[in-house]
């Protein structure tokens, strides 16, 4: 931590505040009952957190980054520190843009936030309550043919699971294949109602068993981040979304969220933007994909996704 702190302070004279922290977690789960079920699962992970505040004249910007892994040998102090300071400095000298609909590239965190809200509509509980717009959409193309999504909780990373909260064996599964919905998420109770097999998506929520999913993996494309910028020409690059609990209706798909990012001019990342609002609809957005990037990243919410370029998103400065 001292190495990271000293490195962050030394990389640029505009760094005025530094915060670093470390967290590690190890857990063991045992699921047993009087019918002979006896399952054990262990997991562990660590993460480093670093943030800086930079000042240039009257302008103040901040930036943070997390490094999550279960292998300490994968962590590099210099690389981690440089990404944080470079990220903060890149936000200085922001310039507003006109309010209109733009083509957009969303980074991994932004894609994950919107995609997971969308996938919540595949919960069999929502389907059976008739509160999901994806009801009766199995084996139907609803999204762009460029979009393929799987649930891979058996991947050997810090989110590995091999049984759900009812003791059902977990299997990797296709969720969306080339825009076609391949499955809903079931537990034992909801599966019995529909006379199908559970998909191993039971999740304990307080005193009841509900539906959960995790380790969502978006199939990457062949485009680099720079290629995605080139494909949209002029538009925006969204690097952060906030206000999802208040500004996103996962059932209707409508969203209006605060965002940070950059303008994209002539196919290249340009000036940072002041705080903006982006608006649209999840169903429309994931049906209007221009291209999917090759820069997949495992995130703290267990999602693995690359950046994605979309045809339009409404921006208000």
Distance CA 275, CA 261 (A): 8
The yes-or-no verdict on residue 73 having pLDDT over 90 is yes
Predicted pLDDT at 256: 97
Q: What is the mean pLDDT of residues 240-252?
A: 93
Quick one: pLDDT at residue 143? Answer: 98
Reply yes or no on whether the pLDDT at 157 is more than 90: no
Give me the pLDDT at residue 243, please.
Answer: 93
Sign of CA dihedral 123, 149, 312, 244: positive
Q: Which of 158, 159, 161, 152 is nearest to 41 (CA)?
A: 161
Using a pLDDT cut of 90, give the percent of the chain over it: 95
Angle formed by the axes of helices 77-89 and 2-11, nearest 10°: 40
Do residues 153 and 216 make contact, with C-beta atoms less than 8 angstroms apart? no
What's the half-sphere exposure (Cβ side, CA atoms, 13 Å) at 261? 30
Q: In the predicted model, what is the mean pLDDT of the chain?
A: 96
Tens digit of pLDDT for each residue in 264-306?
Answer: 999 999 999 999 999 999 999 999 999 999 999 999 899 999 9
Return the minimum-mean-pLDDT range out of 116-120, 156-160, 213-217, 224-228. Answer: 156-160
Q: How far apart are CA 285 and CA 302, in angstroms?
A: 22
The two beta strands, 235-242 and 100-106, are parallel
Region 74-90: what's the mean pLDDT? 96
DSSP secondary structure of 267-289: TEEEEEP-SEEEEEEHHHHTTSE
| Bridge partners (DSSP) listed for residue 279 | 256, 314
Q: How confident is the model at residue 89 (pLDDT cuts 50, 70, 90)?
A: very high
Count other C-beta atoms under 10 Å from residue 220's C-beta. 17
pLDDT band at 158 (very low <50, low <70, confident <90, very high): confident
pLDDT, tens digit, for every residue of 25-39? 999 999 999 999 999
Query: Computed over its alpha carbons, how large is the radius of gyration of the chain?
Result: 21
pLDDT in tens, 8-24: 999 999 999 999 999 99
Mean pLDDT of 230-237: 97
- Band (138; pLDDT cuts 50, 70, 90): very high
How many percent of the chain have pLDDT more than 70? 100
- The confidence score (pLDDT) of residue 317 equals 86
**Stated pTM of the model:** 0.92
Angle (nearest 5°) at CA 168 between 165 and 174: 100
Kindly indicate the confidence band of residue 173, based on its pLDDT and cuts at 50, 70 and 90. Answer: very high
């Amino acid at each position: 931590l001292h190495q990271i702190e000293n490195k962050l302070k030394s990389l640029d004279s505009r760094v005025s505040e530094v915060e670093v922290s470390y967290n590690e977690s190890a857990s063991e789960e045992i699921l047993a009952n009087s019918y002979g079920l006896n399952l054990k699962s262990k997991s562990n992970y660590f993460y480093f957190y670093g943030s800086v505040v930079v000042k240039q004249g009257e302008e103040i910007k901040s930036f943070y980054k997390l490094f999550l892994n279960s292998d300490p040998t994968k962590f590099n102090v210099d690389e981690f520190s440089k990404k944080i300071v470079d990220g903060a400095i890149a936000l200085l000298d922001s310039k507003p843009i006109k309010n209109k609909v733009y083509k957009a590239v969303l980074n991994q965190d932004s894609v994950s936030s919107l995609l997971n809200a969308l996938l919540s509509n595949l919960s069999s509980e929502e389907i059976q309550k008739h509160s999901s717009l994806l009801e009766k959409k199995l084996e139907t193309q609803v999204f762009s043919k460029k979009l393929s999504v799987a649930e891979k909780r058996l991947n050997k990373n810090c989110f590995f699971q091999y049984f759900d909260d009812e003791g059902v064996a977990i299997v990797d599964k296709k969720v969306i294949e080339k825009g076609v919905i391949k499955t809903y998420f079931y537990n034992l109770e909801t599966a019995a109602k529909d006379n199908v097999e559970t998909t191993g998506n039971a999740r304990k929520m307080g005193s009841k068993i509900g539906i959960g999913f995790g380790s969502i993996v978006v199939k990457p494309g062949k485009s680099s981040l720079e290629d995605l910028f080139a494909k949209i020409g002029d538009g925006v690059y969204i690097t952060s979304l906030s206000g999802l609990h208040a500004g996103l209706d996962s059932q209707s798909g409508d969203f209006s969220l605060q965002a940070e990012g950059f303008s994209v001019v002539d196919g290249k990342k340009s000036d940072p933007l002041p705080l903006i609002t982006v608006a649209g609809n999840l169903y429309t957005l994931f049906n209007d994909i221009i291209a999917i990037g090759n820069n997949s990243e495992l995130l703290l919410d267990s999602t693995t996704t690359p950046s994605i370029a979309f045809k339009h998103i409404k921006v208000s400065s």
